[in-house]
Structure 1
Amino acid sequence: MSIEKRPLALTINGNKIGPVDTPVGMPMIDFLHEQLNLTGTRFGCGQGICHACTIMEIQPDGTPIESRTCIYDAHFFNGKTIVTIEGHAKRDEQGRLQELSPVQQAFIEHFSFQCGYCTPGFVTAATIFIESLKRQPVKRADLQSRIEAALNDHICRCTGYVRYYQAVQDVALKTPGCVIE
């Protein structure tokens, strides 16, 4: 008995991938880990509830949205553009780290993690949130509630969320055009 495969082609972290013969029904997280050695995205609950497996899916208009890789099969992303946690930082041609993203840097400065397992999902959600503020700024008085809403679906079992919220607030306040008085 053989496993049915179909070609899969997509763009990940700016690189065109495929077409690659990929088993039908293979979860995207398994494709990322096993086929591409992109292991930063975490497998948590396997049901799409904890959001540890969140990546950015870039819509045709350039808007990033959250997508979970444990509940979507790899072929769901056929023809799409995604960004994993490995794609947030700037790298040189050899793949060496040049500069962390503002969200990644703020998470480090605020020590916004403990075990770090859920951090890739939180970084992704926070990045998408900051991008949304660039398009639609928020009043300073509403910032905290908007941060809580943006990160609400992400589960952390260690930190109590306060440091995550503080890091995101720091980035929002430092990024021109995100917060209005």
Structure 2
Amino acid sequence: MTAIQSAGLDSRSLSMTINGEKIGPTQVPAGLPMIDFLHEYLGLTGSRLGCGQGICRACVVIVDRADGTSEEVRTCINGAHAFDGKTVRTVEGHAKRNEQGEVVEMSPVQQKFLEHFSFQCGYCTPGFVNATTVLIERLKRNPIAKDQIEATITDALNEHICRCTGYVRYYEAVKDLVLATPGLVKDAA
């Protein structure tokens, strides 16, 4: 009898790919929030539990679809089993690391956030990094006109809450990244 069974908790098998690594199958309590699975089972604590109600989006991860698109998914209001069989990226999966696990190169999003000092306490930063990553990947597939940049960034980041009010720096960093990355903005016709 497992510890979960002896505690009277129903458990189910769970498998997924996280940051390129196959996880599972492992027995996980039914109804366990994904944020708790990431923190307690995998030691991936970059995604933050902010509001616990799916409002602030500090907890979002990226779910990659088979068609090459991706989306942000909140982990505080979605159970771990909702991610069964999916491919997930957490904020820990963006930077390149050496064999010892040390960061050797930040992602372009992380680098721009650092250059613009886009964070104060940093609690919301993982959610903003993931949202911006999804946006940049989308723009690589479907570039936008230059006059749509600000509205597109606002749309992508609007639901993320920063309690330190670092919005201006986040938006400036994302705009700088969009303008500096070839192929994201259509040439004027």
For the 8 Å contact 2:119–2:166, the answer to whether it is kept is: no
- Name the residue aligned to 1:84: 90
| 1:72 equivalent in structure 2 | 78
Query: What TM-score results when the alignment is normalised by the length of structure 2?
Result: 0.93
Q: What is the 5 A alignment of 1:46-125?
A: 46-125=52-131
Instruction: Measure the CA separation in 2 of the matches of 1:10 and 1:42.
Output: 20
**Structure 2: distance between partners of 1:110 and 1:7:** 43
Larger Rg: 2
Identity of aligned residues (%): 62
Give me the whole-angstrom Cα distance separating, in 2, the residues matched to 1:113 and 1:84: 18
3-state SS in 1 of match to 2:63: strand
What TM-score results when the alignment is normalised by the length of structure 1? Answer: 0.97
Contact 2:64 2:87 in 1 (8 A): yes
Q: Counterparts of 2:98 and 2:61 in 1: how far apart (Å)?
A: 22
Work out whether residues 52 and 76 of structure 2, in 8 Å CA contact, stay in contact via their aligned partners in 1. Answer: yes
Indicate the residue corresponding to 2:10 in structure 1. 4
Give the alignment's Cα RMSD to 1 decimal: 0.9
Q: How many Å separate the matches in 2 of 1:171 and 1:132? A: 14
**How far apart are the structure 1 equivalents of 2:44 and 2:30?**
20
List runs of 5+ in structure 2 lacking aligned partners: 1-6
